Amino acid sequence: MKASNTNTLLVNEIFYSIQGESLTAGEPTTFVRLTGCPLRCSYCDTSYAFKDGKELSFESIITKISGYNTSLVTITGGEPLAQENCYTFLNLLSPRFSVSLETSNAYPIKDVNKNTTIILDVKTPKSNESDSNIELNYKYLKNNDQIKFVICDKTDYDWSVDYIRKHKLSEKCKILFSPSYDEMSPTELADLILSDGLQVRLQIQLHKVLWGDERGK
């Protein structure tokens, strides 16, 4: 997925809502959802962002963002880094706002603006996209970045625990465990975390608790 100009992005939607995940969960946030994603995760809930979108200039996006009463901005998708211009846009955006980037582990993060908080979604086997994980990315994680695992079942859980230990991810940054919506209950995942004494953060999709699958929330 590629915009026709070097200072534009294909944008699926821009909206203001409550952050449902990550360490800023519960805080009002402006979301910029970019168009396009080469992955097809089994639990994907934003498939509408695969193709639909409008080409917008960097400045028009920033103008829209500035109209909301929050300094928190999350760039999401789709897969934002599937658009090469996203790297440049983050350089422009990060000095003005507190920016987080929600990205799969399928694109290099080395050149992501250092003031951007990266939320790296490591793909588990049940996502059907675990082969897309770029292990070299872990080298470039900062202390304030976050690694997310979406857990579909006990098999995913066990795999994630082993994967964290193998790559020493707990030494990199905060680890988030999120139960896949409608596949694993938060209670079951919480019990597993407590039973094993894991030093991870359990998160649920707060926006879904509040609004279900309503788009733009």
* Residue 121 pLDDT > 70: yes
Predicted local confidence at residue 1, as pLDDT? 60
Amino acid at 212: G
Residue 128's alpha-carbon distances to 24, 31, 209, in angstroms, are 28, 26, 25
Residue of 215 and 20 predicted with greater confidence: 20
Predicted local confidence at residue 205, as pLDDT? 87
- Give residue 214's pLDDT band: very low, low, confident or very high (50, 70, 90): confident
Question: How large a percentage of the chain has pLDDT more than 90?
Answer: 88
Write down the domain spans for the chain: 8-211
The secondary structure element, H or E, covering residue 210 is helix 206-211
Across the range 64-79, mean pLDDT stands at: 96
Measured between alpha carbons, how far is 101 from 201 in angstroms, rounded to an integer?
Answer: 18
* Residue 135 pLDDT > 90: yes
Where does 8-211 sit in CATH, by number? 3.20.20.70
- For 110: left if phi > 0, alpha if psi spans -120 to 50, otherwise beta; the answer is alpha
Predicted local confidence at residue 211, as pLDDT? 86
* DSSP labels, 88-111: HHHHHHTTTSEEEEEEETTS--TT
Across the range 22-33, mean pLDDT stands at: 96
Across the range 128-140, mean pLDDT stands at: 97
Amino acid at 131: D
Residue of 85 and 1 predicted with greater confidence: 85
Across the range 132-157, mean pLDDT stands at: 98
> Please, are residues 3 and 10 in contact by the beta-carbon 8 Å criterion?
yes
